Structure 1
Amino acid sequence: MSKPKLVMVGNGMAGVRTLEELFKIAPEMYDVTVFGAEPHPNYNRILLSPVLAGEMKVQDIILNDHDWYRENRVNLHLGKKVARIDRVKRVVISEDGTEEPYDRLLLATGSTPFMLPIPGNNLEGVIGYRDIADTDAMIEAAKKYKHAVVIGGGLLGLEAANGLKLRGMDVTVVHLGAWLLERQLDEVAGKMLQKSLEDRGLTFLLEKQTEALIAGESGRVAAIRFKDGMQIPAELVVMAAGIRPNISLAEASGIYCNRGIVVNDTLQTYDPKIYAVGECVAHRGIAYGLVAPLFEQAKVAANHLANYGIGRYTGSVTSTKLKVTGIDLFSAGDYMGGKGTEEIVLNDAAGGVYKKLVIKDNKLVGGVLYGDTADGPWYFQLLKDGKDIHEIRDSLLFGQSMVGDVGHAGQSKAAAMSDDAEVCGCNGVTKGTIVRAIKEKGLFTLDEVKKHTKAASSCGSCAGLCEQILASTLGGAYQATASDKKPLCGCTDHSHKDVREAIVAQHLTTKEAVFEMMDWKTPNGCDKCRPAVNYYLISTFPHESKDDPQSRFINERSHANIQKDGTYSVVPRMWGGLTTPDELRAIADAAEKYNVPTVKVTGGQRIDLLGVKKEDLPKMWADLNAAGMVSGHAYGKSIRTVKTCVGAEHCRFGTQKSMTMGVKLEKMLFDMYAPHKVKLAVSGCPRNCAEA
C-alpha cells in the first residue's frame, strides 16, 4: 500500500523542524518531498551574521546536512523554486517544470526583506540581507569598496553593520526611529547600545528618512540622499528595514492571506489539506519573526499531520534574548510601561548594565535587560505565570539568586526553573528538553548538550545557563569545560593559554602575525579577541610589539575613565606625588576652560578632573601635554601611582630619600602592561607615612 504524499515548499528552519517533529512520532507515515529555492540544505539563518563577520563558515551553520535528508528518505529538490500550486489536481509545479503530487501540502516559504520603494532601490550594490547569497554578496563588496550604508537599526541591521565593519568597511547605520532596536529596547537601553557600538567605530544617523539612492558613473550605487537634503557616500547599501511574509505563491493559488497566510490553531489554511508554518504565517492576526514561536507552530503542525490531532497553537508570549555584536539584551512583555504601571530600574552606565522591570498589580508585566541578562528566563517565567511578586519585590531587581540559595546561585537558579521555561530562544529549547536529554542519553558536557538538543549552538548566549542545568542535573558527575580549553572567541578554536604560549614560542609581535600563524577564522578578529591579543603582545614583548590603538578599550583610547553619567574622569600623572606651580596652573586652566564640575585630590596623591565631556578630551589632553603632563593611566592594567612621604629630603625623622625613589620607580615602570592595576608607595622611615 502506497503512503500518502507530503510535499513541503520551503526548506528553512520552521519547515524542517516540522519534519523533525513528524519523524519523531510518525517516521513511516508519509513519502516526503521538499522544494528549496536555495541551493543549500537547511541552515541556521541566525548565524549568517557570524559568517558575514568572518567568525564562521557556511558549513558551520548547516543544521541538517544532505545525509539527514537521505537517512529520513526525503526527496529533496534544491535550487528549485515552486511557481504554482494546482489545488484541484493537488500538484505543485516548480519553475523548471518539476511536478510533485501531494495529499498534504506544507507551506514554509518564510519572509522576504522589505526593500524601500525609493528611486535607485534596484541599482547594483543595493541588497537585502536574508540568505547566504546576500551574505556572499556583502563579503565580496567589502573586498572592493569602502563606504557601506545599512538602512535599519534593528537586530539584522546592526549585525550586518558589525560584520561589514569587521570586514574593513566604513559603515553608517541609518534608522528612522529615535533609538536603536525600538521594538526590543526602551530609549535608555537603546542609547546605551548606540554608544557602545559607536565606540567600536560604527556611525549612526537617527530619525533620518531616505529619499533616493544615487548611481555613480559605472551604474553602481554611489551615494544616498535623505529628505533633509543631506547626502553621504554609499558603495554598498544593505536594506534591513524589516521583513514581509512571503505569501505570493499562496495568494496566486487562491489561499486566503492577510498579513500572512491565514491559519487556524492546527496551522491549517482555508484549504484543510494545506498547512503553513513559520514567518509566512498569520495566526490570529499576528505574524511571528522569532524562532521560538515558529518551533511551537512546527510541533502542533507535526502532531496534526500525524493524525494525533490533540495539539493546538493558541499564540505565543514572546521574549527576546539577543546578542548584538557581543552585547547581551533581553526584553519581554510591556517593557515600555504606561498608565497603572510601576518601574524598578537599575542604571549603571559605566558598568554597561541596565535593568528595568515593569510591574502592575503586583505582577511582572514586562522588562528590559541590557548587559546582564542571566535572569531573563526567570523574569520571563514570572511574567508568563502571572505570579504575585509582592513578597520578593525588594530583591526582584537583583535576580533569582537573591531570593533563593545564594550559596549555590547558579545551580539553584537552574533548579528553580520550570521544565517549560525556555532556555535557548534561537532554537526553541526548554529546560525540560535539556534535562531529558541529559538523563536519557547520558550527556555530561556542554558540547554533548549542543549536539543532541541544539541549545547554545546558535548565538551562544545561553551556554552559561545550559552549564548550570548540567551541574544541577548531574551534581558531582558534571564535566565542566576547563577554562584553559575554551576558545578565546568565535574567531578561533584556540584558548587564551594557547595564544599566550604561541606568542612566546614563535616570538610574535603583531596581531596580524598571531592571526596568520594560528589560522584565525576572520582576517580582522572581533571586539573580544583584538584587545586580548593586543594585550598579550605588549605585555610579553613591550619594547618590540606593535601596539594597535584601535584594539584598546575606550578608556585606553581616550586616556580617561568613563563615568556613570557618560562623562569622563581625567587624571594627569604626578611623578611620585610631586607637582609644580606650572602643572597646577595648567590643571586649573583646563578645569576652567572645559567647565569641569568637580576637581578632587585622590588618595594616590594626584588630582582628578571629573565630568569631562568626551568631545573635550582631545583638546584637554593637548593643553595638558603642552604643559609637560601625561596620563596617569587611572583606567588601565598598568602602574597607576607611586605614593611617597617627604622622606629624608625634608622630614626630621626620615632616613631615606623616598620622593627620589618614588619618582624613579614610577618613571621606570611607566607604560608597563600588568595583569592588573599596580599601585606602589615608598616610605622613608618606619613611621610609614606613605602607607606602603
Structure 2
Amino acid sequence: MTQKLIIIGAGMASGRMLETLYEAGADWDVTLFNAEPRGTYNRIMLSPVLSGEKTFEEIVTHDAQWYEDHGVTCRFGEKVVAVDKAAKTVTAENGDVLSYDKLVFATGSNPFIIPLPGHDLDGVIAYRDLEDTEAMMALGDKENASAVVIGGGLLGLEAAAGLHARGVDVTVVHLMGHLMERQLDEAAGYLLRKELVGRGIKVLCSSNSKEILGENGKVRALLLENGTELPCDLLVMAVGIRPNTALGAEAGLAVGRGIHVDDHMVTSDADILAIGECVEHNGAVFGLVAPLYDQAKVAAATLMGQEATFVQKDVSTKLKVTGCDLFSAGDFAEGEDREDIVFRDPARGVYKRLVLQNNRIIGAVMYGDTADGNWFFGKIKDGEDVSEMRDTLIFGPAFQGGAAADPLAAVAALPDDAEICGCNGVCKGTIVNAINDGATDLDAVRAVTKASNSCGTCTGLVEQVLAVTLGDDFVLPTAKSICGCTELTHEDVRRLIKSQELKSQEAVWQELGWTSRNGCHVCRPAINYYLLADWPLEYQDDPQSRFVNERNHANIQKDGTYSVVPRMWGGITTPDELRAIADAAEKYNVPTVKVTGGQRIDLLGVKKEDLPAMWYDLNKAGMVSGHAYSKGLRTVKTCVGSDHCRFGTQDSTGLGIKLEKLLWGSWTPHKVKLGVSGCPRNCAEATCKDVGIICVDSGYEVSVAGAAGMDVKETELLAKVTTEQEAIDVTTAYIQLYRENAKYLDRGYKYVAKVGLDWVKEQVVDDLENRAALVERFEISQSVYRTDPWAEHAREKADTYQPLADLTMEAAE
C-alpha cells in the first residue's frame, strides 16, 4: 500500500525534496499544504520581479501541471492548525483531519517586524512573499510616491533598488555604520553606499528608528531618534527572519531557535522530518538556499530509507545588489595576528581585501570584480599555504608565476572541486562533466546540474566554465546585442541584411559598423547563417564560420574522438546498410555502436584521422551523413503505420521518408527533429518534436513547437489537412518560415513563443499563396546547398588521406 506523506509548506526546500524523490522513482501519496495561495517559486528572484526584469510566472519552479503530473494533492492557501503525533494526523484550518505515515515540516521563517509604535499601520510591510512584492510594485504606479526601507542588508537593498527602478523615491535606513556589515567590511560597504547614492537611492547609516507615524490608519512617515521625519507612502521592514516553529512547538516537537533535527533531518519524532529555514541543526539555523537544498536531498534519502547525512559547510556569499558585484567569504575581522592584502582601483570601482593568518587565507572581501572569488574561497576551505604566491596573490590565479594570462585563465586554473554555485553546491568538475555529456549552453547546464538556477549570481562564472570547456563552440548568450562587436540585436541584423541587401560577411562588418575587422567566434556563425538563409543564390557558405562539429562533419566526444551517424530514412534500413555499418565498425575499431533515440545507429569513438576513410566506405554503400552534428534536420522518427500496425490510419513511415528526403541537408537556426505517428497512440512521440504529425482517420494533424530536451514542451496544433501532400507542404513552409525569421540558435518552440502561433498560422495555413512561396524558396535553397558533406572526402582513399587542418576561427582570420 502506498504510504502517505504530508508536507507543510511549499517553499524552495520542500520543492527540491519532492524533485529528488520523484527523480529517484519514489512512490508516495503526497499532500502538500501551503499558507500562500500558490505552489513553489524561487523566492530569491522576487527582486527581479519587483524591478520589472522578470514576471512572477518566470520564477515559478513548480506549476500546477508539475504537481498534477506527479500526483501531488495541493492544498494551497490552507494552513495546518494542529498536528497529533500520537494519532499521526494533521488538522487543516477547515477542520479536515488527514492521516500520515511521514510528515515533513517545511514551514520556513517569518519576517521580523520591529515593534516600533505604529508598526501595525496600513502600508507597513515586510519583504517576504509575492503579496509584499505586489504592494511595492503598485506603489510605482502612484505619482510622486516615496518609500522608506528599514534595513541595509541584502534584502533591504534589493527592495530599495526595485522600488527605485519603478520610479519611487527611496530612503534606506540602517542602524549600523555601513551597509551589509555581515558580509562586507567598511571599505566595501562604503563603495556600495557610494554606488547606490550615485543611482539616486538615499542611504542613512548609523540611524535609529523611533516611531512610525500615521494618518487615518495609514503610514505617513518614519521618525528617527534624532528627530528627522522621513515621509513615505510605504514602509518596508527588511531586518531579518526567524524560524517559523509555532506549529512544531504546539505539536510537542523539540524546539530551540528552530525545530531540532538530527543529521538525517529527523525531528524528535521518528516519523516527522523538518527542512529549510524552520530547522535548527547542531545549534545553527539557516537562511541561505545552499544548505536548504542539501537538507532537502538528505530528507528525500531518509524518506526512501537510504543513508544520507546533512553536513554544515562553509559558504561564500556572492551577491549582486542592483548590479554591484560583491563577494565575501570566511572571517574578515581585524586581529593582531592577521595580515591584510588590499587592492584598490578607484577608477573602476574595484576593491579587494584578503585576510591572512599564518600564511593562509581566512577571509576575502571583493567589490566590483569578483571573478576570482571562487578561487580564493577554495584556498580558504583547503587551508592552503599561500606564502610562495604571496606577492601576486591579490591578483588571482591568472597572475601566479608573475605574468598575466588569458582572461579565462582564472577559471581554467580552478580545480575540479572548486565550488561554482553556492546555492546548489555545484563544483566545477560537475559542470565540466555535464558539458562534456552534451549540456552545451547555460540553460542545459542549469537543467542538468542546477548551477545558477537559484539566485543567479554565479551565472557569469558558469558561462566562463562553458567557454573554457567548449572553446570555439561556446556562444555567449547576450541579452541585447549579438556580441561585443556590435550593439545590434539578432533581429536588427536580420532586418538590415535584407533591407540593405548585404550579401557577404565583409559587407556586414563594413556597413553595419562592426568594431572588429572580421567578426568574432560569437557573431560569425550567426551572420553566416543569416546570409545563407536570405541569399542562397548569391552567398557562398563559409565553413570556417561554423562550429567545429559542422566543420568536421561529426560530433566530437569528450575524449577527442568522433561520433559518426549515417542517415536512415524515416528509421528504415536494409541488410546491406547494416552490413556496411558493421564492416565500418570492425574496420575502424569502433568501440561503441549504439541505437539512437532517433532510430539510427551511432558509431562512437571514431578517430579523427579515420573519418574520411569511414565516410568513403559508407558512401560506397549508399549511405549519407545523418547530420547529427548540424543546425539542421536531424531525424524523422516514424512508427510502422498502416502497412503493419492494426491501429495505423495512414502510411506514417512513407510520409516520414518523404519528409526526410525533402528536408535533409537544410540549414536552420537550430537543430530540427520531426516525428510522424500513424495513429493517436503516438508511438513515434511526435508531440514533443519541433514538427510532429499525427495520422488520423480524416488525414493528418500537423503540430509544431515541441521540445523534449532541457525543456519539455508539447507541440501546438498548426493545421489539420486531408492529404499527404498538404502535410508535406505545410511542414516545408513552416520550416522555411522558421529559417527566414528565427534568431540564430533559437529552437522552434522559442521562435513560435516569440512570434505567436496565430501569426505562424496566418503565414503557413491561411495564406495559400504565401505557403507556396515559402515552399518555393525552400526548394531553391535546397537546390543550391544540399550536398552530402561526407562526399567531399569520399573520393579520398585512406592511404592518401591527410588530416584536415583543425582551423579555429581566429587562425582563419
The Cα shift of 1:460 comes to 3.7
- Aligned residue type for 1:356: R
The structure-2 alpha-carbon separation of the partners of 1:203 and 1:343, relative to structure 1 and needing over 3 Å to count, comes to same
Three-state SS of the structure 1 residue aligned to 2:276 is coil
Output aligned runs, 1:261-272, within 5 Å. Answer: 261-272=259-270
- Aligned residue type for 2:7: M
The structure-2 alpha-carbon separation of the partners of 1:271 and 1:375, relative to structure 1 and needing over 3 Å to count, comes to same
Output aligned runs, 1:129-140, within 5 Å. Answer: 129-140=127-138
Per-residue CA deviations over 1:162-212 (Å, capped at 9, x if unaligned) read: 111111111110100000000000000001100000000011111111111
Corresponding residue of 2:466: 470
CA distance in 1, matches of 2:81, 2:488: 49
The structure-2 alpha-carbon separation of the partners of 1:501 and 1:478, relative to structure 1 and needing over 3 Å to count, comes to closer
Three-state SS of the structure 2 residue aligned to 1:190 is helix
Contact 1:410 1:468 in 2 (8 A): no
CA distance in 1, matches of 2:299, 2:26: 17
Contact 1:354 1:371 in 2 (8 A): yes
Corresponding residue of 2:186: 187
- Aligned residue type for 1:193: L
CA distance in 2, matches of 1:195, 1:482: 28
The Cα shift of 1:458 comes to 4.5
The Cα shift of 1:443 comes to 1.7
CA distance in 2, matches of 1:495, 1:264: 56
Per-residue CA deviations over 1:410-458 (Å, capped at 9, x if unaligned) read: 5543344344432123444332332333233x22222322343332344
1:32 aligns with 2:30: yes
The structure-2 alpha-carbon separation of the partners of 1:229 and 1:222, relative to structure 1 and needing over 3 Å to count, comes to same
Corresponding residue of 2:64: 66
Contact 2:139 2:168 in 1 (8 A): no
Three-state SS of the structure 2 residue aligned to 1:214 is strand
The structure-2 alpha-carbon separation of the partners of 1:199 and 1:430, relative to structure 1 and needing over 3 Å to count, comes to same
The structure-2 alpha-carbon separation of the partners of 1:111 and 1:420, relative to structure 1 and needing over 3 Å to count, comes to farther
Unmatched 5+ residue regions in structure 1? 489-493, 507-692
Corresponding residue of 1:587: none
The structure-2 alpha-carbon separation of the partners of 1:341 and 1:103, relative to structure 1 and needing over 3 Å to count, comes to same
Which one has more relative contact order, counting CA pairs under 8 Å at least 6 apart? Answer: 1
CA distance in 1, matches of 2:263, 2:59: 31
- Aligned residue type for 1:47: M
1:324 aligns with 2:321: yes
1:366 aligns with 2:363: yes
CA distance in 2, matches of 1:80, 1:8: 12
Moved more, 64-73 or 234-243: 64-73
The structure-2 alpha-carbon separation of the partners of 1:100 and 1:361, relative to structure 1 and needing over 3 Å to count, comes to same
Contact 2:293 2:423 in 1 (8 A): no
Corresponding residue of 2:431: 434
Three-state SS of the structure 2 residue aligned to 1:143 is coil
- Aligned residue type for 2:274: A
Corresponding residue of 1:353: 350
- Aligned residue type for 2:171: T
The Cα shift of 1:104 comes to 1.4
- Aligned residue type for 2:383: G
Moved more, 295-304 or 9-18: 295-304
Output aligned runs, 1:246-645, within 5 Å. Answer: 246-309=244-307, 311-403=308-400, 409=406, 411-440=408-437, 442-481=438-477, 485=481
The structure-2 alpha-carbon separation of the partners of 1:495 and 1:77, relative to structure 1 and needing over 3 Å to count, comes to farther
- Aligned residue type for 1:17: R
Contact 2:50 2:163 in 1 (8 A): yes
The structure-2 alpha-carbon separation of the partners of 1:357 and 1:76, relative to structure 1 and needing over 3 Å to count, comes to same
Contact 1:323 1:459 in 2 (8 A): no
Corresponding residue of 2:728: none
Output aligned runs, 1:119-134, within 5 Å. Answer: 119-134=117-132
CA distance in 2, matches of 1:70, 1:483: 33
Contact 2:315 2:422 in 1 (8 A): no
Per-residue CA deviations over 1:96-132 (Å, capped at 9, x if unaligned) read: 2233321111111111111011111111100000011
CA distance in 2, matches of 1:31, 1:406: 60
Contact 1:260 1:287 in 2 (8 A): yes
The Cα shift of 1:487 comes to 9.7
Contact 1:91 1:100 in 2 (8 A): yes
Three-state SS of the structure 2 residue aligned to 1:35 is strand
Query: What fraction of aligned residue pairs are identical, expressed as a percent?
Result: 48
- Aligned residue type for 1:293: P
Contact 2:392 2:402 in 1 (8 A): no
The structure-2 alpha-carbon separation of the partners of 1:229 and 1:383, relative to structure 1 and needing over 3 Å to count, comes to same
Contact 1:444 1:479 in 2 (8 A): no
CA distance in 2, matches of 1:231, 1:265: 49
Three-state SS of the structure 1 residue aligned to 2:140 is helix
Corresponding residue of 1:520: none
Three-state SS of the structure 1 residue aligned to 2:141 is helix
Contact 2:291 2:423 in 1 (8 A): no
CA distance in 2, matches of 1:195, 1:257: 42
State how many pairs are aligned: 496
Three-state SS of the structure 1 residue aligned to 2:369 is coil
CA distance in 1, matches of 2:479, 2:165: 27
Corresponding residue of 1:644: none
CA distance in 2, matches of 1:259, 1:299: 23
Per-residue CA deviations over 1:200-225 (Å, capped at 9, x if unaligned) read: 00111111111111111x32100111
Three-state SS of the structure 2 residue aligned to 1:393 is helix
The structure-2 alpha-carbon separation of the partners of 1:74 and 1:406, relative to structure 1 and needing over 3 Å to count, comes to farther
Corresponding residue of 2:73: 75
Contact 1:46 1:426 in 2 (8 A): no
The structure-2 alpha-carbon separation of the partners of 1:500 and 1:97, relative to structure 1 and needing over 3 Å to count, comes to farther
The structure-2 alpha-carbon separation of the partners of 1:20 and 1:497, relative to structure 1 and needing over 3 Å to count, comes to closer
